[in-house]
Amino acid sequence: MTNKSGTVSGWIWHQYLKAGTSSATVLGYAEKELGKSYSYGATGPNSFDCSGLVQYVYKKAADKTLARTAQAQYSDYTHVSSSSLKKGDLVFFGTSTGSITHDGIYVGDGKMIDAQDDGVITESITAAWWHLVGYSQPVSLS
C-alpha cells in the first residue's frame, strides 16, 4: 500500500482493512423495511418515521450513526448535485435548506424508499406532496 503522494509505502495486515459499503447493501437493508408502519419519532425496528428509517438503515448497512432528524442529516453531510446523485444517497424535502421536514434513501430512476403516513414505501422523489430541497452523501458508497 502507498500513500496518496507516493512517498511512503508498506504492508497492512488484511484483517485491519474493512471493505466499503456498497449501495446494494444500503438498498438491501432499506428494502427489508418495506411495508413496516409509520410512527412519528420511531426509529425501528417495527415502525419508523422518515429520519428514523434512514438512521436505522445506515447503522445496519454501513455501521454509521447518522444524526436523528432530517434537518440534522441534511446539515451534517456532504451535499451532492442531482447530476451526482447515486443509489443509496439521501434525498431531502421541505420549504428550504433551513427547514427540512422529510428525507428518504434514493434507489434510482427518480425513486426513493421512505417512511411516511402510508408506512415504509417506494415512491417518486417528484411526488406532488414533496418539495425537493437537495441531496447528500453521508458515506461514500461503492
CB 37 within 8 A of CB 46: yes
- The residues carrying an active-site annotation are 50, 102, 114
Task: In whole angstroms, give the CA distance from residue 91 to residue 136.
Answer: 7
- Cell 447515486 belongs to 86
- Cell 427547514 belongs to 99
Per-residue H/E/C for 52-75: HHHHHHHHHHHCCCCCCCHHHHHH
User: Residue 138, preceding bond cis, omega within 30 degrees?
Assistant: no
Sorted by sequence, the CB contacts under 8 Å of residue 65 that are 6+ apart come out as: 55, 58, 59
